[in-house]
Each structure stands twice: as C-alpha cells, then as structure tokens.
Amino acid sequence: MSDHLKFYIDGAWVDPVAPRTLDVINPATEQSVARISLGGAEDVDRAVMAARRAFDSFARTTRQERIELLEAVLAEYERRREDMAKAITAEMGAPSTLSRNAQAFMGTAHLSTAIEVLKNYEFEEARGSTLISREPIGVCAFITPWNWPSNQIGCKVAPALATGCTMVLKPSEVAPLSGIIWSEIMDAAGVPAGVYNMVNGDGPGVGAALSSHPEVDMVSFTGSTRAGIEVAKNAAPTIKRVHQELGGKSANIVLPDADIAKAVTAGVDHIMNNSGQSCNAPTRMLVPRDRMDEVKTAARAAAEAITVGDPQGDARMGPVVSEAQWNKIQGLISKGIDEGATLVTGGAGRPDGLDVGYYVRPTIFADVDPDMTIAREEIFGPVLSIIPYDTVEDAVRIANDTVYGLAAYVQSGDIDNARKIARQLRAGQVAINGPAPDLMAPFGGFKQSGNGREWGDHAFAEFLEVKATLGHTTA
C-alpha cells in the first residue's frame, strides 16, 4: 500500500491543513491499495488563490507558448502512460487491456487534439469596426468521476491550458491515483506554478467548497445528475459558469432492416465494456416486437461469451468500482425481476467462482416495459434492458421518453433511413451503425444529461468569454 497524502498547490506538493485520510480500495480484491488525504475548505482556498495569482500572466501567454507547454505535457504523459493504466486498473477495476488501450489512451488523445485545435483556433475576428475576441474565462474548478478518470481529467485540463485558463482539480476520491499521476505529469512538464492545482477530497468537503468559491469563474463537473444539481446550487450565488456532463439512459434503436444478430451482439458488447460504467452506454435496446425471440437468443449468446474476472488477467470484464455501486446494481437487478421483466441471462449475485471482488453477472432483461424502473433509472452496471416496439414511430417516442439525453444509437441496413431516425432523437450525440470514436465530435447532453460540450474545438468555447470592442477599427 502506498501513501499519497499531499496536495499539489502552487507548483509544490503540500500537506493538508487538517490531516484526514481515506483508503483507496481495489475493487477486484476489496483491499486497500493506497491512502490519500481528504481536503477541506482551507485547502481549496489555498489552491484557488494560487490559481487566481497565476491567471493574469498565464492568460497573456502566446498561442505558441501554450502549444509548447501542451507538447511538454503530452510527452510526459506518454512517458507515464503505462503507470496511468496500472493505476486505473488498481483503483477502479478496468481490465488491463482496456486501461492501456482506452482508459489511459484518452489522456493522450485529448492532449493531442487540443494541440491541433489550438494551432488554428480563431480567438479574434473583425466584424466591421468591431473586434470580437474570445478570452480565457479565468480560474476553473474541475470535479471529475471515477469511471473514466484520465479521460475526464484530460478533456477538461487540455482545453483549459490551451485557452489560457488556470485550474483546480478534484479527482474522485474513489479513484484518485490517476489524478495524482496527472499532477506529477503537470509538474514534470514544467506547467507554471499555480496554473494547475490538485486537492483530493469528497463532494461535501472539497467539491462544495470549489463550486461555491467566489474566486472560481467556472466549474466543470462530470458525474451523476443528483450531484450535478448540488454543484449548480452551490455555484448559483456567485453566478459562475457551470458546465456539466451528467447521467444517461441511452436508447439503441435496432430498426427492422438491421442485421439483428450483428446489431444485438455489438450492443451487448458495448454496454458490458467498462462493466457498464459509462454514462453514454446503450442501456436501452429497442427492438421490433416480432423479432424478440431472435433478439433474446443473440443477446444471451453475446452476454454469456463475456468472461468476468481478475482485471490483471485476460478477462474481458472486471469488477464494478465499489461495494456501494455493487449494492445499487444488485438492488436494480432485483427490481427488474420483481417488476416482471424476463431475465434472459445473468441476475443477482457474483458470477460463479468469484467470491471476492465487486463482480456483477453480465445481465440481460427482455420484454421490458418502458415504465419499469430498469428502463428509467441509470443503473451504471452491466445490465441491458431490451424493450419491444411495434412501429418505428413508437421506437422514437420510447427513445425520447426519458429525462436524459446524452447519447443515442441507431442500427439500420439503410443509411438514409438511419439518418432520418437520428434527426428525431433528442440526444447530444447519435451514433449510426457503430462508427469509430471521433475526438473532434462534441460530447455532451440534452435535458438532465447536462449542458455545454467537451472534446475538440467545441470544448474551447466552454473556457472562453466573448468580448466585443466597438470602434476597434476606424475608417
């Protein structure tokens, strides 16, 4: 077990004001792998004020200076990428291959994308005699989750650095080791003192202090809708900008002209990736009612082909992140059975042979009514609800009948038909027939899935204020 009891503030590793520790639990072993300190309002104030002092000079850096800084961060990140992957596996249970090729890779991806966007980003434009300029918003507070930890840090830190902002990061206290490595990377890369700061802690102790701090100009939060509401409430008295990427209950519409076996298998594999702990996971699969038997057969085969076990080994699916998460998922699986959904495979309890670790059976429910709890609540685990529909219009209505709107998916043998359906879906990102990820595509949601966008050039706008200077150009 290792100790990481200091915070990174003003370019140095410092002790917390009041010592208080928390064990970091490996979800595969249920044993502590590290200890961190939990900060409080005084630690937050130290970090925020360091960021405030650093802002004026960093905001005046040139485009080239920030490109060179990001390149130094990227080089150091690449040097530590294997360390990042190992930390993510230990702290939240992602299988080693997933940690290396997806989880840790996303830090590289966001830094590289920010560099490319920054090279040509238009910070100023003339409209007649008026100059429209986009200036860094100021001190930013980042509150990030445990499910894709390096990804969510990277998609905030990279554009903030690129646009000239300073920042304070609070990683999830459940999975803080990746945030500590990010801080070591920023230090080694030579990020100026105060530009980047990190305070570990929980929501009540650090998250609330950050989101309410009067010297924070913008808070970017990724997490549950419930927690996002609290962040917005805390931020309201100081009228700071609030960017949020929240929950999801994404619909995956399998149209009648799709290859059913292929579409269902891909949909099952997608949701089981990362043990179902992705906010954009396609957790509601909508299928033609008269194809339900065929769908059940394909879904059962796909789920039962997924190996569950030690994330350090060859298993495709590791544990979920914590005992609390495991208990929540078990309760919702029981709710699905109690409310009359057909349990196709999986179910309550750990998979056979796994008596230690927060492992969940890959679970498929079919014949799910849209009003059932498992069709409406975000489960955040490897649980798929298959919902029948009678007409395509009915499918679109069911897909949109949710408080969430983060992502949606369409499977079809006719691209024009798929495009028609995609235009009708109320979601921030719609994927047709399983495309590759697009790092320049804006990521964010409609409705209670949040506001604002991350990734690519759209992310820059979140960190910029727009200024109009009239009379800037004279005839």
Query: What integer pLDDT is reported at residue 129 of this predicted model?
Result: 96
Q: Are 310 and 353 in contact (CB under 8 A)?
A: no
Summarize the confidence of residues 453-473 as an average pLDDT. Answer: 97
Task: Find the catalytic residue in 279, 378, 454, 462.
Answer: 279
Averaged pLDDT score across all residues of the chain = 97
Percentage of residues in the chain with pLDDT exceeding 90? 99
Q: Are 406 and 279 in contact (CB under 8 A)?
A: yes
In this predicted model, what pLDDT tens digit does every residue of 407-456 receive, in sequence order? 999 999 999 999 999 999 999 999 999 999 999 999 999 999 999 999 99
Retrieve residue 157's tokens.
């830190």
CA distance 90 to 26: 5
DSSP at 238: G
Task: Find the catalytic residue in 245, 378, 454, 462.
Answer: 245
Query: What integer pLDDT is reported at residue 1 of this predicted model?
Result: 77
pTM: 0.96
CA distance 244 to 226: 12
90: amino acid identity, one letter: A
Predicted confidence (pLDDT) at residue 346 exceeds the cutoff of 90: yes
* Confidence at 475, pLDDT banded by 50, 70, 90: low
Predicted confidence (pLDDT) at residue 474 exceeds the cutoff of 90: no
Query: What integer pLDDT is reported at residue 418 of this predicted model?
Result: 98
CA distance 200 to 179: 9
In this predicted model, what pLDDT tens digit does every residue of 359-379 receive, in sequence order? 999 999 999 999 999 999 999
In this predicted model, what pLDDT tens digit does every residue of 104-119 receive, in sequence order? 999 999 999 999 999 9
Retrieve residue 188's tokens.
């080694």
| 78 in catalytic set | no
Query: What integer pLDDT is reported at residue 394 of this predicted model?
Result: 98
Q: Are 385 and 284 in contact (CB under 8 A)?
A: yes
| 279 in catalytic set | yes
